[in-house]
Amino acid sequence: MSEKTESNAVQENMHFEAEVSQLMQLMIHSLYSNQEIFLRELISNGSDACDKLRFESIANAALLEDDSELTLNVSFDEEAGTITVADNGIGMDRDDVISNIGTIAKSGTKQFLESLTGDQKVDSQLIGQFGVGFYSAFVVADKVDLISRKAGSDAASGVRWSSDGSGGYTLEQVEKKQRGTEVVLHIKDECKDFANGWRLRSIIKKYSDHITFPIMMLEELPPAPEDSEEPAPEPKLEQINAASALWTKPKSQIKAEEYEEFYKQVCQDYESPLAWSHNRVEGTQEYTSLLYIPKKAPFDLYDAAQQRNGIKLFVQRVFIMDEAEKLMPRYLRFVRGLVDSNDLPLNVSREILQDSKVIDSIRRGSVQKVLGLLEKMAEKEPEKYNDFWGEFGQCLKEAPGEDFANKEKVAKLYRFDTTKADKQGDLASLDDVVARMQPGQEKLYYITADSYTAANNSPHLEIFKDKGIEVLLMHDRVDEWMMAYLNEYEGKSFVSVAKGDLDLSGIGLDDSEKEAEKKARDEKAAEAEPLIKRLKDVLKNDTSEVRASTRLTSSPACIVLPEGDMAVHMQQLMKQAGHEVPDSKPVLEVNPDHPILKLLDQEPDEDQFASWARLLLDQSWLAEGGQLDDSAGFVRRMNEMFMALHKA
């Protein structure tokens, strides 16, 4: 729908997407716990627009028109109750406005709305994480006008966007002499105290002092004496912020609060960072890096389709690009911050970065700084490091397959549940586990499962618990993949307790005890040989082997996969995702001392024996998290067993 305005421009009435309308209502009802954040968000947007123009003008100087000084301007009208934030950056045309303001093209909006808890303090932290900060304007304003003109277009190509946040907005073409964007906030009555020079200056100094473009305001002059005949002087524009790149300053001159506020502004987070590393490298390459570890994982950290890199690239303090993925490996994609290089050309592109030796050197150095920062945190601040691990540990587990050179260094940072802990969450490092190894133990043992409970209750752990041998309990989806690349640590090989043959003989025993253990095991295997043969005959089509177990002490049976095979729970996940999984037959290990096996051994009816043998195999599959091909057959055999026991 469109209508004519007084200026004869066509005004279009547009509707927000449903998700945007929800978001607007949240903003209007003061989702933010800190209202003054709106100014930081609008200034940050203006700074981004100036950055983009500065970069675009390298290839096309005409975009600067006759105005090469990039600035932001904040003004207010206390009587009218308005605040205006303007920039002379890249600007927007009609399509840009609809895309960037009217629809929120970001895929995270829906996830943002689904993530809301109803707790204002918690939910306010999500807004920056999901990149919807422009709408913070509606925390303090009941109407917002945005007037913009794209650099390089003529003055008649301006566009005005207006909304009161009630579900729609209007668009119209307007005259705008200066390129860039101007946002006018019509302040709510209860927020009129923001339309005050002192208040605005203090907010700018607090949150935006490190914006690299000047933020200007009209100076406030004292009132002229009543009897003065001199005309009142015209106020001049004065710069409010320091407008110097924080990362170019010596570390000794930067306070922790400055690092934190810079992080919030640059990385669009509402929480302070967990830690940071500020480095200046000189020599063959010259660059500065300022790298941050966030407190909380972004919503899309483990979404392969949406994963982003958080490093901004600058060249000689000129912003070049966001999400410079070549500057950090994927397993460190949670790292935020920037790199400023003196050695790259200003017209560098993503294609050039692919084969740049300078970038490779910066990347290697940056990875070492991040890993060093994490090592220090793990050693000096273990509680803080445990918080980090809970948020980003699964990312680090991707390292063995991506970064062979740092595989052992990253593994030192790993934390796991183990069988030695009293409860889930009492995590141990690999160094802890190595230090607690039993005499004669040469290998590190682990199990993968789809949950902590499944891992901790696995029958494969029975002999380990009896012998006091610690086992790593791995229950993240990435663990099975990780262990395909993490073969050893500190010279100790990793062994899955659920795969391959298992030899724990001699661990924790003296020579005489070792001999006695071996003798008892051989005697037990010989005694069970007739039963093993009967089971092999029945299950020959479903198993690769049946043998007496060295793992089990209280369970009747378990399945064991070949060493190179994928764990059962991962096979199920792959099948559910539509992937082909190679067929393989497991080994069935049985515990001849278990009462069920003794009863089975005494069963004279071969049909009954075969039915119960298959029941034993099915139970073992279920214990590993597997799914049965013949669930109905399993239920039938269970019912037959109950009936037989009842008759007995």
pLDDT tens per residue across span 26-60:
666 645 557 887 898 899 889 989 999 998 998 89
Residue ranges per structural domain of the chain: 2-219, 246-380, 529-563+583-647
Q: Give me the pLDDT at residue 294, please.
A: 94
Does domain 246-380 correspond to CATH entry 3.40.190.10? Answer: no
Distance CA 155, CA 248 (A): 37
Q: Give me the pLDDT at residue 111, please.
A: 58
Query: Which option is the CATH number for 529-563+583-647: 3.90.380.10, 1.20.120.790, 3.10.20.340, 3.90.1150.50?
Result: 1.20.120.790
Q: What angle do CA 119, 301, 139 make, to 5 degrees?
A: 35
Q: What residues contact residue 171 under an 8 Å CB cut-off, 6+ apart?
A: 11, 12, 14, 94, 97, 98, 102, 159, 160, 161
Distance CA 478, CA 485 (A): 11
Q: 584-587 contacts: CB < 8 A, separation 24 or more? A: 584/544, 585/542, 585/543, 585/544, 586/543, 586/544, 586/559, 586/560, 586/561, 587/543, 587/544, 587/545, 587/546, 587/547, 587/559, 587/560, 587/561, 587/562
Mapping DSSP onto H, E and C, the string for 551-575 reads: CCCCCCEEEEECCCCCCHHHHHHHH
3-state secondary structure at position 106:
coil
Token pair recorded at residue 477: 């989806």
For the chain, which ranges sit under pLDDT 50? 1, 5-7, 30, 104-108, 128-131
Token pair recorded at residue 219: 């100076």
Q: Give me the pLDDT at residue 175, please.
A: 96
Residues in the chain, overall count: 648
Q: Give me the pLDDT at residue 643, please.
A: 79
Q: Give me the pLDDT at residue 492, please.
A: 94
- Angle of the 382-396 helix axis to the 357-380 helix axis, nearest 10: 140
Distance CA 334, CA 353 (A): 20
Q: What residues contact residue 631 under an 8 Å CB cut-off, 6+ apart?
A: none
Q: Give me the pLDDT at residue 106, please.
A: 47
Q: Chain centroid to CA 531: how far?
A: 52
Q: Give me the pLDDT at residue 309, please.
A: 67
| HSE-CB of 437 using CA atoms within 13 angstroms | 18
| 544 residue type, one letter | S
Q: Give me the pLDDT at residue 646, please.
A: 65
Class of domain 2-219: alpha beta
pLDDT (tens digit per residue) in 213-268: 999 999 987 777 777 777 778 889 999 998 888 999 999 999 999 999 889 878 87
Q: Give me the pLDDT at residue 564, please.
A: 74
Q: Give me the pLDDT at residue 107, please.
A: 41
Cα Rg of the chain, angstroms = 33
Distance CA 456, CA 458 (A): 6
Ramachandran area for residue 316 (φ above 0: left; ψ -120 to 50: alpha; else beta) = left
Distance CA 301, CA 562 (A): 33
Answer for the pair 300, 106: CB distance below 8 angstroms, yes or no.
Answer: no
CB count in 10 Å sphere of residue 163: 24
Distance CA 213, CA 423 (A): 53
CA distances to 190, 200, 379, 634 from 573, in Å:
54, 54, 36, 22
Spatial CA neighbour of 589 closest among 520, 531, 515, 523: 531
Q: Give me the pLDDT at residue 112, please.
A: 56
Answer for the pair 615, 542: CB distance below 8 angstroms, yes or no.
Answer: no
Distance CA 483, CA 447 (A): 10
DSSP string computed for 590-616:
E-TTSHHHHHHHT---HHHHHHHHHHH
Q: What is the DSSP letter of 436?
A: T
Distance CA 36, CA 200 (A): 9
Answer for the pair 34, 55: CB distance below 8 angstroms, yes or no.
Answer: no
CA distances to 116, 123, 420, 521, 556 from 553, in Å:
48, 50, 18, 12, 8
Torsions phi, psi of 349, nearest 5? Answer: -120, 170
Q: Give me the pLDDT at residue 160, please.
A: 97
